[in-house]
Chains A and B, each alone.
Chain A
C-alpha cells in the first residue's frame, strides 16, 4: 500500500507569512508524529496525535506552531508569522497500534523562510 505522503515537497515563503504543511499517514495508522529537522541535525519531536487528539504537544517551540488532525487521518501543521529560524525539513511519521513501535516516515517538507 501507499506510504506516508507529505505536501508540498518544498515551500518557500517570506518572513511573517502563514504556512500549512500537510501529512497523509498510512491508512489505518492511529498514531501520527511531526518532527522538525534543522540542517545537519537529527529530527526533533514536535507533536504526537493518537486519533484526533494531540496526546503530546510538548515539542512545539512556541504558540506560532499549531497542528490538527480533525478526522484522525490527515494532519496539518500550521505555522503563523514565520521566522527565518523556522527554516527546516518537517517530517511526518505514522504508526499502527500493532506495529511494535515502528514509525513510518514521509519524505518531508522542506520549508525555507526568506
Chain B
C-alpha cells in the first residue's frame, strides 16, 4: 500500500519570504502522480501543483514549485514571496491509474504567514 508522510505539523513564514514544506511517500509503483493541495478554513480542497512521476523536470506554478526526488521518494513544495492568502493547511497526496486514481493524503502541514 502507498503511504504519504508529512513530518511538519506546523510551519510559519514571514510575508514575502520563502518556505518549504516537506513530503515523503512510499510506493512500489513506477508510474504515479503527486499533488499538493491547499485547504483553507472554508474546507475547499484546492489543487496547488501536480507532478507526473515520469517527468524529471520539477513542476512550477507561479510562486509555487516542487523539488521531486524520485529515488528518495521525496516531494517538497516551495512557496516563494509568501502572501497572507497562502495561510492554510497543505496536503501532499499520491495517486496512480492502477488504484483508480484514488488519492492517498498525508497528515497535512498548517502554514501560518506572519505580516
Which residues of chain A have a CB within 8 Å of any CB of chain B?
A: 31, 33, 35, 40-45, 48, 50, 55-56, 59, 89, 91, 93, 95, 101-108, 110
Contacts and interface: CB of A to CB of B under 8 A. Distances in A.
A40 B91 CA distance: 11
Interface of B: 4, 33, 37, 42-47, 50, 91, 93, 95, 97, 99-108
Contacts of A102: 47, 50
Contacts of B4: 42
Majority secondary structure, B binding face: mixed
A101 to B, nearest CB: 5
A102 B95 CA distance: 10
Given A42-B91, A93-B103, 18 more contacts: A31-B101, A33-B102, A40-B108, A41-B107, A42-B105, A42-B108, A43-B105, A45-B102, A48-B100, A48-B101, A89-B43, A91-B43, A95-B101, A101-B33, A103-B103, A105-B46, A106-B44, A110-B43
